């Protein structure tokens, strides 16, 4: 029997664990969000001392929560840097800079590195190779920019526990001989880091799940727009394009993804999903639009429900929502003539396609 007490699908077993820990062992549930924040701030101050920290800010709930936490802990010794690698969703870089600069008055260094990232993965089709190259390029950019803004001793990352679990590549515990983990996929801030990393890492959120990070974000005063933002992978749209990534495919997917997000927001369904996004397949299918034959890309819609990202179920959305999204994509996005819906849960599939 395989049992994962940390995931929602094992709630029956989790109830047994709660009964054993709280009632039989009479342990007190002393972990609270406020206690975690206080402890994390103390640990960051003790580890960093009077050194400066560079934070890779993406605008998601993880890095944004980390930014608030670190700003609380070390103040102006934190430098936030946003690397625009060209794989973000439509309008997100501009919105990120607006929120942090105007609403929270937290300065962010903007770095436009779109061309160099696209060059790094040109012709690359293997998902792991994409992730590694993007992860390595992130570090290279950080190192270059830190020489301009630094010096910095620490690199802060919003690594979460699911990232650590899914990036694990240890099959056998060297002490017990027991099987402990199998790597599912490398996360850009776990499996993508080079061995000769010049920075020391600061990862206060490393033991938290996504739902716990959102609670921490609430306690730190993050706006709802950031807290409820759907998870977005570090490599961004580069791993939502199956196979080779090109500028043309990025533009097509970015426009299709915008339609998905715009429609679920317009219909007030955004918070019903863990993630709602589009995937571009590197094949073409025959279609007809008006009196013309088309030969264009298909787009896959991926809408899933989850509590923590460890497991997920495909969402049973109303057909009229799917119909509206499909019609808009086909009519508004040049280069697409077909839309399909992914009805695979996790497991056996992952939420992302790569």
Query: What separation in angstroms does the CA of 238 have from each of 24, 160, 248, 280?
Result: 49, 21, 12, 10
Give the pLDDT confidence score for residue 5 in this predicted structure. Answer: 56
Mean pLDDT for all residues in the chain: 86
Lowest mean pLDDT among 144-158, 177-191, 260-274: 177-191
Give the pLDDT confidence score for residue 225 in this predicted structure. Answer: 86
Give the pLDDT confidence score for residue 166 in this predicted structure. Answer: 61
In this prediction the pTM is 0.75
- How far is it, in rounded angstroms, from Cα 65 to Cα 208? 12
Give the pLDDT confidence score for residue 206 in this predicted structure. Answer: 92
Indicate whether 190 pLDDT > 50. no
Contact criterion met (CB below 8 Å) for 159 and 206:
yes
Structure-model confidence comparison of residues 290 and 108, the more confident one: 108
- How far is it, in rounded angstroms, from Cα 84 to Cα 58? 9
Indicate whether 171 pLDDT > 50. no
Q: What is the share, in percent, of the chain residues with pLDDT greater than 70?
A: 87
pLDDT digits (tens, 9 = 90+) for 286-343: 998 877 888 999 999 999 999 878 899 999 999 999 999 999 999 999 999 999 999 9
- Model confidence at 196, in pLDDT bands (50, 70, 90)? low
Residues 6+ apart with CB under 8 A from 264: 270, 272, 273, 276, 303, 321
- The per-residue DSSP string of 201-269 comes to EE-TTTT--HHHHHHHHHHHT--HHHHTPPP--TTGGGGSB-S---HHHHHHHHHHHHHHHHHHHHTT-
Tokens of 182: 């199998």
pLDDT digits (tens, 9 = 90+) for 124-150: 999 999 999 998 998 888 788 888 887
Euclidean distance between the first and final Cα of the chain, in Å?
28
């Amino acid at each position: 029997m395989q049992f994962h007490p940390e995931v929602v699908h094992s709630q029956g077993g989790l109830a047994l664990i709660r009964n054993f820990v709280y009632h039989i062992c009479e342990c007190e549930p002393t972990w609270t969000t406020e206690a975690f924040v206080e402890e994390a701030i103390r640990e960051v101050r003790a580890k960093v001392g009077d050194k400066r920290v560079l934070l890779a800010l993406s605008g998601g709930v993880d890095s944004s929560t980390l930014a608030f936490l670190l700003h609380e802990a070390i103040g102006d010794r934190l430098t936030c840097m946003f690397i625009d690698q060209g794989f973000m969703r439509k309008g997100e870089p501009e919105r990120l800079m607006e929120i942090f600069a105007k609403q929270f008055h937290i300065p962010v260094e903007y770095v436009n590195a779109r061309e160099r990232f696209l060059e790094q993965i040109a012709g690359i089709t293997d998902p792991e190779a994409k992730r590694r190259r993007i992860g390595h390029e992130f570090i290279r950019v950080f190192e270059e920019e830190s020489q301009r803004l630094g010096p910095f001793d620490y690199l802060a990352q919003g690594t979460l526990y699911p990232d650590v679990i899914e990036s694990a590549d240890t099959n056998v515990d060297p002490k017990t001989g027991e099987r402990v983990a199998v790597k599912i996929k490398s996360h850009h801030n776990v499996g993508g880091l080079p061995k000769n990393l010049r920075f020391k890492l600061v990862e206060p959120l490393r033991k938290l799940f996504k739902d716990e990070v959102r609670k921490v974000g609430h306690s730190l005063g993050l706006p709802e727009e950031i807290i409820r933002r759907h998870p977005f992978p570090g490599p961004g749209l580069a791993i939502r394009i199956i196979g080779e990534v090109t500028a043309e495919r990025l533009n097509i997917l970015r426009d299709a993804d915008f339609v998905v997000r715009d429609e679920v927001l317009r219909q007030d369904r955004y918070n019903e999903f863990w993630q709602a996004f589009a995937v571009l397949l590197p094949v073409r299918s025959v279609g007809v639009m008006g009196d013309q034959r088309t030969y264009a890309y298909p787009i896959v819609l991926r809408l899933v429900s989850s509590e923590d990202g460890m497991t997920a179920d495909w969402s049973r959305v109303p057909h009229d929502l799917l119909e509206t999204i499909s019609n808009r994509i086909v009519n508004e996005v040049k280069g697409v003539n077909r839309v399909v819906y992914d009805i695979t849960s996790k497991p056996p599939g992952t939420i992302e396609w790569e």
